[in-house]
């Protein structure tokens, strides 16, 4: 009998939580407003930082009567969280906090985030939604190659994947050869990692004499760093998989804020839990739907650490139209950069993602590069170091390499209107990453 098969319902179900993911805008906005009011009241009452900020701005939680009124509230930045290190932004007594994570600040203190039991429940549910929409199912064996620890990526994906019934293999990051061996032996059908690590793992698999494309891994659940469509194609070719993007940040929860469905036409935002705005980072005014700007997030259900108008520094745009998949929650475009990643070279604004797009389209180079910025006198210089493929190396004709360098320079010039120095290097000479890639080396000390 079909009904006895416990996976039967799962197989038929295409949307994890239809009630929440397919609401009408009106219904959703009503829910958002109710939740926003509750969040603001709690933040004002329980967190001295917000009370002070609201008072300084001359605003009380009850002044917020519509969703648009949120613009009256002050923004929150990473500095605010740092100033209240470690637990100053918590809205609940410590006995109610059951988990603490922190984001790896490259400078100074990390930012700390706490979760109540209900926050963990919500988190697992939202990650379940996100992995399910990307195509993960109870039948999948999922290798988690994010580093376990204070980073939200591994544990976040872990509980969400368990919730949909997938078999989770919590390998963590590092020891890449062993990762490949386990992937093969356990027959992992899905991989959780940063896109750059997925690429590196593919390379190691080949070094071990395996063709990654022949392994059963069919679904990539990638996130935690920016990556271009060109990089996606590269990973899909390498692994013969369906590579999906998902987004989140520790300050507001971790992974599960948004993720792609099978249409891969933007990442569905869990709008019943997060209120998003996109602003012009200079004027701080809202931009229209479809226009790029800085993403600002307000949490609507977080208990331990509600965050109000958090400036993410991530650049994206919002599409509120319902998706072909049937979900109605708005989608955010792939993150094209961070406001603090933008390089200004001799007055020209350059995003690393633009450089990546150019390099990925050049057949003779491998998807491993570094962007080095220096200052000579008063002039900024940008140098792109990129690996050539083994095939190019075999040909090894100096004149050909020179031509290739010139070709990359020309393409970069046509996209960026900037004259960049290009340095071709041998395969496997640029650093690889097991977590988030660090491809920019800014030596200008500014």
Residues that bind ligand DLL (CB under 6 A): 103, 151-153, 223-226, 245-250, 254-255, 312, 314, 335, 338
Q: What minimum distance in Å lies between the beta carbon of 307 and ligand DLL?
A: 12
> Sheet harboring 254-260: ordered strands across?
167-169, 141-144, 190-193, 219-223, 242-249, 254-260, 267-269, 331-332, 318-319
Q: Is the Cβ of residue 223 or residue 352 nearer to ligand DLL in the bound state?
A: 223
Q: For ligand DLL, give the closer residue by CB, 418 or 436.
A: 436
Tokens read off for 191: 């991989």
Nearer to ligand DLL, 184 or 338 (CB): 338
List the Cα angle 139/208/239 in 5-degree steps: 40
Q: How far is the CB of 312 from ligand DLL (least distance, A)?
A: 5
The distance of closest approach from Cβ of residue 208 to ligand DLL in the complex, given in angstroms and rounded to an integer, is 26
Question: Which CB sits closer to ligand DLL, 106 or 399?
Answer: 106
Compute the least distance from the CB of residue 89 to ligand DLL, in Å: 15
Query: Between residues 29 and 225, which has the closer beta carbon with respect to ligand DLL?
Result: 225
Residue closer to ligand DLL (CB basis): 152 or 328: 152
Rounded Cα gap, residues 324 and 261, in angstroms: 10
Tokens 């993007």 correspond to what residue? 245
User: Nearest approach, Cβ of 159 to ligand DLL (angstroms)?
Assistant: 13
**Distance in Å, CB of 50 to ligand DLL, minimum:** 21
- Alpha-carbon span 282 to 82, nearest angstrom: 23
Q: How far is the CB of 51 from ligand DLL (least distance, A)?
A: 26
When the beta carbons of 220 and 223 are compared against ligand DLL, the nearer one is 223
Q: CB nearer to ligand DLL: give 145 or 152.
A: 152
Minimal distance in Å, beta carbon 335 to ligand DLL?
A: 4
Shortest CB 395 distance to ligand DLL, Å = 36
d(CA 180, CA 364) in angstroms, rounded, equals 26
Closest CA to 191 of 148, 163, 161, 152: 161
Q: How far apart are the C-alpha atoms of 434 and 179, rounded to whole Å?
A: 11
Regarding beta strands 274-279 and 379-388, do their DSSP bridges make them parallel or antiparallel, or are they unpaired?
unpaired
Q: Are 443 and 383 in contact (CB under 8 A)?
A: no
Residue nearest to ligand DLL (CB): 223
Neighbours of 174 (CB within 10 A): 12
By beta-carbon proximity to ligand DLL, the closer residue of 275 and 335 is 335
CA 117, CA 253: separation in Å to the nearest integer? 13
Q: Are 145 and 118 in contact (CB under 8 A)?
A: no
Minimum distance between the CB of residue 220 and ligand DLL, rounded to whole angstroms?
12
d(CA 178, CA 172): 11
User: Minimal distance in Å, beta carbon 233 to ligand DLL?
Assistant: 16
Whether 356 and 384 have beta carbons less than 8 Å apart is answered as no
Q: Quick one: the chain helix, strand, coil %, rounded to 5? A: 35, 25, 40
340/95 Cα distance (integer angstroms): 36
Q: Which is nearer to ligand DLL, 102 or 408 (CB)?
A: 102
Q: What angle do CA 347, 352, 355 make, to 5 degrees?
A: 95
When the beta carbons of 157 and 404 are compared against ligand DLL, the nearer one is 157
Contact criterion met (CB below 8 Å) for 232 and 196: no
The answer for 92, left when phi > 0, alpha when psi is -120 to 50, beta otherwise, is beta
């Amino acid at each position: 009998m079909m009904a006895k098969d416990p996976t039967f319902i799962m197989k038929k179900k295409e949307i994890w939580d239809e009630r929440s993911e397919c609401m009408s805008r009106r219904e959703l906005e009503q829910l958002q407003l109710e939740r926003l009011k509750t969040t603001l009241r709690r933040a004002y009452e329980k967190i001295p930082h917000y009370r002070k900020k609201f008072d300084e701005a001359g605003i009380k939680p009850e002044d917020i009567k519509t969703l648009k009124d949120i613009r009256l509230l002050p923004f929150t930045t990473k500095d605010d969280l740092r100033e209240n290190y470690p637990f100053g932004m918590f809205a609940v007594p410590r006995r109610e906090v059951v988990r603490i994570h922190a984001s790896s600040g490259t400078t100074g203190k990390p930012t700390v985030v706490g979760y109540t039991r209900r926050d963990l429940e919500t988190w697992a549910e939202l990650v379940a939604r996100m992995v399910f929409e990307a195509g993960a199912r109870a039948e999948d064996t999922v290798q988690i190659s994010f580093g376990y620890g204070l980073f939200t990526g591994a544990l976040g994906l872990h509980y969400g994947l368990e919730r949909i019934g997938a078999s989770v293999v919590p390998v963590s990051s590092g020891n890449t050869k062993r990762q490949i061996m386990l992937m093969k032996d356990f027959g992992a059908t899905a991989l959780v990692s940063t896109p750059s690590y997925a690429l590196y793992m593919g390379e190691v698999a080949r070094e071990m004499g395996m063709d990654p494309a022949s392994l059963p891994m069919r679904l990539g659940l990638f996130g935690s760093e920016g990556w271009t469509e060109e990089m996606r194609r590269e990973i899909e070719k390498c692994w013969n998989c369906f590579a999906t993007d998902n987004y989140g940040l520790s300050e507001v929860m971790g992974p599960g804020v948004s993720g792609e469905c099978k249409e891969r036409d933007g990442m569905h935002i869990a709008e019943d839990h997060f209120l998003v705005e996109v602003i012009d980072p200079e004027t701080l005014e809202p931009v229209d739907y479809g226009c790029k700007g800085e993403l600002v997030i307000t949490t609507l259900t977080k208990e331990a650490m509600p965050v109000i108008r958090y400036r993410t520094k991530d650049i994206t745009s919002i599409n509120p139209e319902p998706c072909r998949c049937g979900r109605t929650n708005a989608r955010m475009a792939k993150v094209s950069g961070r406001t603090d990643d933008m390089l200004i070279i001799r007055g020209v604004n350059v995003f690393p993602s633009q450089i990546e797009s150019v390099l990925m389209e050049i057949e003779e180079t491998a998807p491993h590069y570094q962007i080095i910025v220096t200052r000579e006198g008063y002039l900024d210089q940008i140098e792109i170091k990129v690996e050539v493929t083994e095939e190019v190396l075999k040909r090894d004709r100096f004149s050909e390499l020179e031509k290739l360098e010139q070709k990359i320079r020309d393409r970069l010039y046509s996209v960026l209107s900037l004259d960049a120095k290009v340095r071709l290097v041998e395969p496997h000479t640029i650093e690889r990453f097991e977590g988030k890639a660090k491809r920019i080396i800014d030596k200008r000390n500014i």
